[in-house]
A and B are shown apart, each in its own frame.
Chain A
Amino acid sequence: MYLLNLSFLQFLAVFGSISVFAVALYLLDRSRRRQVVSTLRFWVAAEQPAAAAHRRHIQQPWSLVLQLLSMALLVLAIGQLRWGAPMEAGRDHVLLLDTSAWMAARSGNRTLMDLARDRARRYLRALPARDRVMLVRADALATPATAFEPDRRKIEAAIQASQPGATALNLDQAFAFARHIQSQAGGRAGEIAFIGTSRVADPESAAPAPPRNLRVLLVPDPIENCGLRKIGMRRAAADPGLWEIYVSARNYGTRPRNVNLALDFGPGGATGRVAAGFQQLTLPPGGEKEASFEYRTEAAGILGVTLSPHDAFPADDRAELELPAQPTLPVTVYSDEPDLLKPLLAATPRVAAVYRKPSEYRSNDTGLVILDRFAPPVRPTADSLWIDPPAAGSPIPVRRVVEQAPFAGWNSDHPVAAGLRTKDFKLDHATVFEPAPGDARIGEVDAGPVIVARPGHPKIVVFGFHPALSAMRYELATPLLFANLLRWFSPQIFRRWEISGGSVGSVKLLMDQDTPPQAVRVTSQDGSPVPFTVRDRTLDFFSGVPGPVRVVAADREYLYSLTLPEIGDTRWEPPAQAPKGMPHFSLGLDTATDLWRWLALAGLAGLLAEWVLFGHFRRFRQTRVLHPVLLRSKASDPEEVRR
């Protein structure tokens, strides 16, 4: 005799809880009840002895016993008590079906997934009919496709619906999941059957602790495959228009292969694409090689990398990466002496400067407008840098003018003055400004700020002196100050891009600089955030779905094009003691008898009997039956009384 759905401990826990609840209800029901009555006259006659009146005890122990017995019968029915030996009962099997990316490889005219489905169906038919099966799809994450299900049609439908994923097989996690789910099911554990290839993601997963009840049904995969592993792109440090491209390819097979790597660039789609590079590689068995390319473009587009000739696993033979356009900042300089400013602006290659006379002023310029000792009649609508403006036209009110003022210092907390230390120079002639509360004092003399920045839209920076006409022109701080200014006005032109193509799964990114986690954003293609962790300078995130992932960390932007399938590098060796091949179960008759129906009926009958014998039914019947008798006796006839 055994319970099918509950372990003995679980039965005790459930029944114990119900028993405690029932006894508590009994005690509460017997506890003092407040009641307003018409008179106490008859209650006094019915009163119990005082000693008994204050004792809290179970008034109807047989009622409680009957209730507890009925509850026990019902819990046993829920637990599906069976008469017979557990060996004769059905078992719960977990069917681990490999749905890793590698299962999309073709073997002949069928994929490995087709072969695995066939084996799964055959395994299913070999099981006794009373056994229950749970189908678990295993790739990087083990996902149950069904519950423990006795209906074979549902399991077969789930097997048919299983498709290769994009990640490699994590066998350790799949085994742990299967063990856990079997122990939680409460029934008699059957086998954990693994159906798939032996190619796993990492060496740690290659030697998982195998379950003792493991059965292995391996799908042979003697497939020669070469594929792209990784692609990296970044703009050359010396030449922003030049992309440096690194392509890594791997030979997963057992024979050396000569492969061609071809790059093409263009808009999305097959048309309008131009060749961007070509190399030949010889890949040794199990070896990996890198090839580097350079491609010059400032346009946005799709860079495609193709490995040929194609093989039985074409999913890793091509990858596409999206290249962003190179942003530039248009700068319009209004100056009678443009040569003073040209060296400062030419130092930044992503600035497109145009120099005009003050008489050519237009207020609708875009980008950044630099006004050199000139106050226009209408202020520019774009961001503007005012150098030594006339007092009447200055956007920041002028407090006073100072002569021969030693420079006092920089506000290094502000990004415009970041890294500036020089202060041992003297300004021959400078205007001191009266900043508003929201304005930032960038540089100061003793009399007050001489460089003021006003955030908002548009941004404004005002110099109280001309840096190229003062003692500052010989200082290193001058080009640094202008670089900071351009970064503050337009941070996107300084953003550095790194583009990688790889496989889905876990991605580890070593960032160039310490970046607080709140300054990091990781988003998927549709803009939804991707969970990540930052430890030291290492950022980790996981993407189980093929597609681009964008990582923005301060002035860096990393674009991951995770379109390549993740293929396991390592072969897992099944344990020698694990049975292999199709099982041959004994199909003996199930002699165990289900008792739950009878137990449920007995439990319900017990509760009904308790209600009839001790419950409200009895009181109800007493009330309804006794009244007519009383009425007949009370409706008196005077003649009867006289007699």
Chain B
Amino acid sequence: MPSAPLLDREFLEKLERLTIQWQKSFPGLVGGHNLSRFAGAGQEFLDHRNFHHGDDLRAVNWRAYLRLEKLFLKMFQVEPRVPVRMLVDISQSMAAPHEQKFEYARKLAAALCYVGLVRLDSIEVHGFSNRLAQRIFATGGRHRFPGVMDRIAAWELQGATDYLGAIREFIGTYSQRGLVIIISDFLDDRGCGRALEYLTDFGHELMLLQVWADEDRVPPWTGELDLRDAETGAALRLDFDDVARQRYTRAFDEYASEIQALALRSGGRYAGVATSQPIEDLIFGDLIRARGIA
């Protein structure tokens, strides 16, 4: 029996009017939905300049030559594709306390892929835990989306989160700068701030989408708890009551604020979402407000 698709047709139709947005102009890679400051091969006229030996004769403005008897060359806006890369957390922490987070992250990744494919953007999607894995290259228009969605749906959880290792591998693999969308719970015991700063230092623009389960933020349990870390297996025993719950939630919110500040400092975007919130609300509400999508 085939499994249900991650996203239904009705939702995908709503996504068709959206566009993935980025703020930076990447040297040599302007284009897409942002006007380019560089001339090159393209469809849209940019300017004229004097003809120099070796220039392409097809770009000469022959009408101006007939009128002025001087060779001018037409310049056009270049339209190279800005690489959009998406990193989706597939570490074991995404399945704790249940797999809602992982499911939510997969759906969100698929939705953003669809938005990009509709606008003829090229998106490279990677699952990651302690290294990059399960690469999916989504390009060529919306008709490629079913295959992409099937491959995202086939992802499986693996390993423990190591942002530093995964980002190092990413930077080593992709020298061309672009937009990096990270969908994760950002729960790495060694911290993810340094790894994210690497990305911004290398000129990437970040869009951080933090996903958490309701239990991650406000644990519903009370009493003596025997806790085990889903990734490391580390154990902790404690007595948990309403006061402790408040302290816990406060610590969680502070951590989320740190992630948010890190994204915004580098000119990126951030959105935090609980799995109880519908994806539609996230995309058409929070992501549009954060100018991650237009």
Q: Which residues of A contact B (CB under 8 A)?
A: 29-48, 52-56, 59, 616, 619-620, 622-624, 626-628, 630-631, 634-638, 641
Name the contact of A34 in the complex, choosing from B214, B220, B226, B272 (C-beta under 8 A): B226
Judging by beta carbons under 8 Å apart, are B290 and A635 in contact? yes
A630 with B227, Cβ < 8 A, contacts A41-B189, A41-B255 known: no
Inter-chain contact B228/A43, CB cutoff 8 Å: no
Give A406 Cβ to nearest chain B Cβ, in Å: 93
Across the A-B interface, the 10 shortest Cβ-Cβ residue pairs: A634-B272, A635-B286, A46-B248, A30-B223, A45-B251, A641-B264, A46-B244, A38-B93, A39-B187, A46-B247
State the interface size on chain B (CB cutoff 8 A). Answer: 68
A53–B217 contact, CB under 8 A? no
Cβ–Cβ contact A33 & B248, under 8 A:
no
A-B pairs with beta carbons under 8 Å apart, 23 shown:
A34-B225, A35-B225, A38-B187, A39-B93, A42-B248, A43-B248, A45-B248, A46-B245, A47-B236, A47-B238, A53-B224, A59-B241, A626-B218, A627-B276, A630-B274, A631-B273, A631-B274, A634-B271, A635-B272, A636-B260, A636-B290, A638-B23, A638-B290
Given contacts A45-B247, A54-B224, A637-B290, 8 further A-B contacts (CB under 8 A): A30-B224, A35-B97, A37-B229, A38-B213, A41-B251, A620-B220, A630-B256, A634-B273
- Tell me, rounded to whole Å, the shortest Cβ–Cβ distance linking B183 to chain A: 14
Given contacts A40-B234, A636-B270, contact A631 B277 (CB under 8 A): yes
User: How far is it, in angstroms, between the C-alpha of A40 and the C-alpha of B236 when the chains are bound?
Assistant: 7
In Å, the complex CA distance between A329 and B182 comes to 107
Asked if B289 is at the interface of the complex by the 8 Å CB criterion, the answer is yes
Whether B274 and A35, one on each chain, are in contact in the complex, defined by CB atoms closer than 8 angstroms, is no
B169 within 8 A of A: no
With A30-B222, A31-B223, A34-B228 as given contacts, are A43 and B238 in contact (CB-CB < 8 Å)? Answer: yes
Q: Which B residues lie within 8 Å of A53 (CB)? A: 224, 237-239
CB distance from A552 to the nearest CB of B (A): 68
A638 touches B274 (CB 8 A): no
Q: Which residue of A lies closest to B187 (CB)?
A: A39
Chain A interface mostly: helix
B253 at the interface (CB under 8 A from A): yes
Cα A367 to Cα B220 in complex, Å, equals 90
CA A624 to CA B275, docked complex, whole Å: 11
Determine the chain B residues whose CB is within 8 A of the CB of A620 once the complex forms. 220
Contacts of A636 in B (CB 8 A): 260, 263-264, 269-271, 290
Q: Which residues on the A side are within 8 Å of B289 (C-beta)?
A: 635, 637
Contacts of A624 in B (CB 8 A): 276
Q: A631-B277, A641-B264 are in contact. Are A33 and B221 (CB under 8 A)?
A: yes
Decide: A630 and B272 in contact? CB cutoff 8 A.
Answer: yes
- Pair B251/A33 contact, Cβ less than 8 Å: no
**Nearest Cβ distance between residue B255 and chain A, in whole angstroms?**
7
Tell me if B222 and A59 are in contact (CB < 8 A): yes
B236 adjacent to A43 (CB under 8 Å):
yes
Once the chains are docked, how many angstroms separate the CA of A46 from the CA of B254?
Answer: 13
Closest to B210 in A: A634
Q: Mark B50-82, 1 if CB is under 8 A from A, else 0.
A: 000000000000000000000000000000000
Q: B269 and A38: CB pair below 8 A?
A: no
A172 to B271, CA, bound (A): 87
Determine how close the nearest CB of chain A comes to the CB of B159; give it in whole angstroms: 14
Do A35 and B286 touch (CB < 8 A)? no
The closest CB in chain B to the CB of A49 belongs to B239
Any A CB within 8 A of the CB of B230? yes
B252 within 8 A of A: yes
Which residue of chain B is the closest to A56 with respect to CB atoms?
B224
Query: A54–B226 Cα gap in the complex (Å)?
Result: 11
CB neighbours (8 Å) of B265 from chain A are: 641
Cβ contacts B173-211/A at 8 Å (1 or 0 each): 000000000000101010000000000000000000010
Contact status A38-B277, CB under 8 Å? no
Residues of chain A within 8 A (CB-CB) of B244 are 46-48
Q: Which of A38, A42, A623 has the most CB of B within 10 A?
A: A38
Are B226 and A630 neighbours in the complex by a CB distance under 8 Å?
Answer: no
Which residues from A are CB-within-8-Å of B141?
none
Q: Which residue of B lies closest to A642 (CB)?
A: B264
Q: In the assembled complex, which residues on chain A have CB atoms less than 8 Å from the CB atom of B225?
A: 32-35
B146 at the interface (CB under 8 A from A): no
A59 to B265, CA, bound (A): 44
B31 contact set on A, CB distance < 8 A: none
Say yes or no: B238 contacts A46, CB within 8 Å.
Answer: yes
Taken together as a complex, chains A and B put the C-alpha atoms of A30 and B238 apart, in Å, by: 11
**Bound form: Cα–Cα A616–B263 in Å:** 36
Assess whether B291 is interfacial by the CB under 8 Å rule.
Answer: yes
User: Residue among B213, B238, B240, B289 with the most chain A CB within 10 A?
Assistant: B238
A634 to B287, CA, bound (A): 11
Cβ distance A619 to chain B, nearest Cβ, rounded Å: 4
Q: Which residue of B lies closest to A641 (CB)?
A: B264
